Amino acid sequence: MRASYRKHVLKFKRPSGTSRGILNEKETWFLIVYANGKHGIGECGILRGLSFDDVPDYEEKLEWTCKNIHLGKEALFAELKGYPSIRFGLEQALLSLKSPNPFELFPSDFTRKEVPIPINGLIWMGDKDFMLEQIKNKLDEGFDCLKMKIGAIDFDTELEILATIRSNFSKNDVELRVDANGAFTSQEAGHKLNLLAKYELHSIEQPIKPGNFGAMQQLCRHSPVPIALDEELIGIEGETKKVELLQNINPQYIILKPSLIGGFKSSLEWIGNAEKLKIGWWVTSALESNIGLNAISQWTYTLGNKMPQGLGTGGLYTNNFESPLQVKKGHLFYRKGLSWQPELIQKLCT
């Protein structure tokens, strides 16, 4: 077996705002493994300023992985402990290599019978008019679950936007989720959660920055809005530490981004322990290209979670790869009649 990698910079169609800043592009790397005349491909993607493995020697570690691919999965995983996105890319690539179709990693009714996955419509931060325009478009497209980024513009304006939605759609018509990306201070979070509760939200993701365990525990205990941990899971290694975090904070939900938490195996550890504690969960992309999104979506379908998932990000980029993934009426489909771009995939793998 041998391996190589290629870097690819994804370009956003429109600058996309979060409380951590404006995104114009996203770096990603493709890890390709070769054996017996076949190849497998996986995506190693990081989010600058957020990924645990956003470190200067990232490409050096990718090169090391390729040179030592003969060591096998378990030995490589042990050496890649601090590099969750590389572990995830390797996990994908090895599954891809074993499969008769390198892009069908988890055969199921999703890939074979076009049974879709319900997803939320993502509303990026921006001025009020831009956010309302996005909301209208998502509702027109058939979404009945919206996830709105909050925390970067004036909070009163964000409340006005939520009030506008609720004046037209009840919680039975449209499920509303908000994502603060840690934008609230511990001191103001309780008050802001009380104001948000008027709009009958499904949940809020990561209201305060990760690492404030005592404050987050109190918020989860007393918040009128269910809290979902997201960034809080990044960098937590080992099942013991995962159990301790869930037991101590006891959130209502956790959100799984395989690229950020070490792949499918690590995600399944989080899910298993969450379910024992009666903590809900769903899966979200970390803005991967369609190659990584394809792997995450196929895996997510096999889990049988009926909640809307955060997998509608494939249309964000000008230079993504054409794929069988298609969003329609608030659902993600794998269309058997659509194919990957063979010339681009061939370029990556040669």
Q: What does the pLDDT look like over 205-216, one tens digit per residue?
A: 999 999 999 999
Q: What stretch of H or E contains 290?
A: helix 290-303
Residues 6+ apart with CB under 8 A from 139: 121, 146, 169, 174
198 to 116, 124, 223, 302: CA distances (angstroms): 32, 22, 12, 35
pLDDT at 248 over 90: yes
Q: Is pTM, for the whole model, over 0.85?
A: yes
- Mean pLDDT value across the chain: 93
CB atoms within 10 A of CB 135: 23
**What's residue 121's pLDDT?**
95
Residues 6+ apart with CB under 8 A from 181: 18, 19, 20, 149, 151, 205, 206, 230, 231
**What's residue 350's pLDDT?**
66
Supply φ then ψ for residue 192, to 5 degrees.
-65, -35
pLDDT at 242 over 80: yes
**What's residue 180's pLDDT?**
93
User: Which pLDDT tens digit goes with each residue over 14-52?
Assistant: 776 565 667 789 999 999 999 999 999 999 999 998 899
User: Which pLDDT tens digit goes with each residue over 58-106?
Assistant: 999 999 999 999 999 999 999 999 999 999 999 999 999 999 999 999 9
Q: Enumerate domains of the chain plus CATH numbers.
A: 2-102+344-348 (3.30.390.10), 109-340 (3.20.20.120)
* Beta strands 21-35 and 2-18, pairing class: antiparallel
**What's residue 21's pLDDT?**
66
Contact call for residues 2 and 69 (beta carbons, < 8 A) = yes
Active site residue 128: no
Active site residue 241: no
- In angstroms, the first-to-last Cα distance of the chain is 15
Nearest to 233 by CA among 205, 214, 201: 205
Q: Is 283 helix (H, G, I), strand (E, B) or coil?
A: strand
Nearest to 256 by CA among 246, 248, 266: 266
Q: Is 231 helix (H, G, I), strand (E, B) or coil?
A: helix
The residue from 147, 149, 192, 242 that is catalytic is: 149
- The tokens 């603060």 sit on which residue? 180
Q: pLDDT grade, residue 224 (50/70/90)?
A: very high
The residue from 26, 147, 242, 257 that is catalytic is: 257
Contact call for residues 300 and 117 (beta carbons, < 8 A) = yes
Contact call for residues 86 and 69 (beta carbons, < 8 A) = no
**What's residue 334's pLDDT?**
97
